[in-house]
Amino acid sequence: MTGMFFSYIPGNSLLHRLDPRSKIIGIMLASILIFRAMSVYEMLAIGVVFSILFLLSSTTVKAVYSSVYPMRIILIFIFTIHLFFTEGSSILSVFGMNISYEGLLKGSTVTLRFIYLLMFASLLTSSTPSSLITVGIERLLRPFPLKVLGISSFDLAAMMSMSLYFVPLLHGSFNDLKDAQLSRGLDMKRHPFKAMYSLTVPMIRVAFRMADDLAMSMESRCYQGVHRTSIFDLRFGRMDFLCISIFGLLSAIIFFMPVLQDF
Amino acid sequence: MSIDIKNLIFSYNRSTSLEKHALNDVSLSIKKGDFVLISGEVGSGKSTLIKHMNGLLKPCSGSVEVDGIPTHKKDIRSKVGMLFQFPQKQLFGKTVDEDISFGPANFGIKGNQLKKQVHEAMDLMFLDESIASVSPFDLSGGQMRLVAMAGVLASKPDYLILDEPASGLDAKNRKILFSILKKLNSKGISIIVVSHQISDVLPLVDRLFLIDSGKIVFKGSPDEYLRSTNLYLPDIPWIMKELHDRGFDVKFDIFDIDEAFYEVSSLLNPQKVDEQ
């Protein structure tokens, strides 16, 4: 399943060694900042924070790029929509549609926000195995009274890890299937509809079969869905406190940047 | 008319930290009409090798040509049929007929010719005409596999590659499968079987390639393989060869347990066997 976007890259960098919980909290802080950022300065500051984190991880530029690149069509779509449908002073006219200065600015900001989100997410996923992300989320959710809603954080974690384990499996089956249909002369560019049909129908069958097999094997091993301890022992160390503090401080500075600018 | 592979080198995830060498300087040639077995351990590069033969993978270096046409041209896919492991997974048509005609229709065959080829392929796989309008998902697992095979054969390939065709088949169906392959081969179609199980297929083939860690470690006829000294042999030929090497007068190109029993018992008691 290698070569997939958002896949884990083994390593021993600072980011690899951090507790998954601190990384998840970090991502949450970063997301708040990203969605709040409006000005060029804030965007630049987030860029600087990302670069520092990037240098602290052993992630490659290629890995980050490969998590943004598959989303290019959505990104281009978001950008174009903002470009053409924002009211403001017109700077250019294409096909009778006006491109405004405000549209250009807003389009770039919104698109950049998404790119930042993807980039930060790729930092998390490239430095943390999916199993640890799941454990981290489960631990973070544990203090919340989800029981009232009839949800147990263990069930959530189990579901999440199962879905994550299915990704590479389904990806593998999909590649096998694609090879089989290509060998039967399928031309994806010339007949996109036929391609979709000949790939999705067997894929759905495969997915259901896999889910069925998993359910059966869980049942045969008496899975009850009760509180289970995790094989991964999480330790929130001194480094985690330090990193979270620094990151929190940086976030606070960026968060209050618009206020500071007014002085 | 042949599949020619020259100095093929291939690695997955090239120029990344996850780079994995799969094939290393592989050269081989498979002529039209050959019946070939490619064998090796799991992960030795068998599947990677055959995916080069119809252009699903492109060589990192070296060349792969089918009848003189390099494999990056898509037309070669109609010449090389590929049947993957558990081919029943690839079925998707609303009817058996639709599924089998998928391949040939993709290669531009229309109308009566298409009908004829679908019919012929179903005939070859012993599929009754009455199931043509049935949904393939209503069939039994074994029949689904036959439909999938017919779907590959309907394009009338010159070369047929089968990846572990016998996996999941019982002894009876395995015999049927190999008799079908033999029949296809007698019609001039090259058969390339990929399998880690040597003993089933070896009596049928003209030539054998053994792959280990992405390298071809043996090419030759089954006879040369059985006479080799340093290669792993299936149980029965191994026993017979050991007996032969220790000076007993037995044939050693034997794969069948009954034949082996006859050989050994005739050795122990020649008269009794003659009387029988």
- Helix (H, G, I), strand (E, B), or coil: what is residue B152? helix
Contacts of B110 (CB under 8 A, 6+ apart): none
* Interchain proximity B84–A176, CB inside 8 Å: yes
Position A111 scores a pLDDT of 92
Structure tokens at A144: 């919340």
Structure tokens at B55: 């252009």
* Interchain proximity B17–A9, CB inside 8 Å: yes
Question: What is the full DSSP assignment across A153-170?
Answer: HHHHHHHHHHHHHHHHHH
* Interchain proximity A198–B16, CB inside 8 Å: no
Proportion of chain B above pLDDT 90, given as a percent: 43
Comparison of pLDDT for B75 and A123, the residue scoring more = A123
Query: Helices A40-56 and A20-36 meet at what angle, rounded to 10?
Result: 160
Model pLDDT for residues A172-219, shown as the tens digit of each residue:
899 999 999 999 988 888 888 888 889 999 999 999 999 999 999 999
- DSSP secondary structure code for residue B73 in this structure: S
Position B244 scores a pLDDT of 85
Proportion of chain A above pLDDT 70, given as a percent: 95
On whether the CB atoms of residues B136 and B93 are closer than 8 A, the answer is yes
B102/B92 Cα distance (integer angstroms):
10
Q: Is the pLDDT of residue A225 over 80?
A: no
Position B268 scores a pLDDT of 83
Q: Is the pLDDT of residue A261 over 70?
A: no
Q: Which chain A residues touch B77 with a CB distance below 8 Å?
A: 182-183, 185
- Helix-strand-coil split of chain B, %, nearest 5: 45, 25, 35
Position B27 scores a pLDDT of 92
Q: Is the pLDDT of residue B190 over 90?
A: yes
Q: Which residues pair with B162 in a beta bridge?
A: B83, B193
* Interchain proximity B152–A184, CB inside 8 Å: yes
User: Residue B217: what are its φ and ψ, rounded to 5°?
Assistant: -105, -15
How far off is chain A from B266, nearest CA to CA, in Å? 49
Position A180 scores a pLDDT of 93
Structure tokens at B191: 């058969």
- Rounded to the nearest integer, the mean pLDDT of chain A is 84
**Which of A116, A109, A112, A124 has its CA nearest to residue A21?**
A124
Model pLDDT for residues A8-64, shown as the tens digit of each residue:
888 888 888 888 899 999 999 889 888 888 788 888 888 988 998 888 888 888 888
Q: Which pLDDT band, with edges at 50, 70 and 90, does B156 fall under? A: very high
Q: Is the pLDDT of residue A1 over 50?
A: no
Burial string for A25-60 (b: 16+ CB within 10 Å, else e) reads bbbebbeebbeebeeeebbebbeebbeebbebbbbe
- DSSP secondary structure code for residue A208 in this structure: H
On whether the CB atoms of residues B121 and B154 are closer than 8 A, the answer is yes
Amino acid identity of residue B184, one-letter, is L
Q: Is the pLDDT of residue B59 over 70?
A: yes
Asked if A177 reaches chain B (Cβ–Cβ under 8 Å), the answer is yes
The three-point CA angle B271-B272-B274 to 5° equals 65
Asked if A1 reaches chain B (Cβ–Cβ under 8 Å), the answer is no
Residue indicated by tokens 């016998």:
B166
Structure tokens at A21: 């919980």
- Residue of A3, A183, A187 with shortest CB distance to B54: A183
On whether the CB atoms of residues A190 and B67 are closer than 8 A, the answer is no
**Mean per-residue pLDDT for B158-170?**
89
Q: Is the pLDDT of residue B250 over 50?
A: yes
Comparison of pLDDT for B38 and A260, the residue scoring more = B38
Asked if A175 reaches chain B (Cβ–Cβ under 8 Å), the answer is no
In this structure, the number of other CB atoms found within 10 A of the CB of residue A228 comes to 11
* Interchain proximity B89–A176, CB inside 8 Å: yes
Chain B residues with CB within 8 Å of chain A CB:
12-13, 16-18, 51, 54, 56, 74, 77-78, 80-82, 84, 87, 89-92, 102-104, 106-107, 137, 151-152, 155
* Interchain proximity B89–A183, CB inside 8 Å: no
Contacts of A247 (CB under 8 A, 6+ apart): A26, A29, A49
Burial string for B196-223 (b: 16+ CB within 10 Å, else e) reads eebebbbebbbbbbbbeebebebbeebe
Model pTM above 0.80 = no
* Interchain proximity A205–B77, CB inside 8 Å: no
B194/B58 Cα distance (integer angstroms):
19
Burial grade of A205 (CB within 10 A; 0-12, 13-18, 19 or more): middle
In this structure, the number of other CB atoms found within 10 A of the CB of residue A18 comes to 22
Comparison of pLDDT for B23 and A157, the residue scoring more = B23
Q: Is the pLDDT of residue A2 over 50?
A: no
Q: Is the pLDDT of residue A4 over 60?
A: no
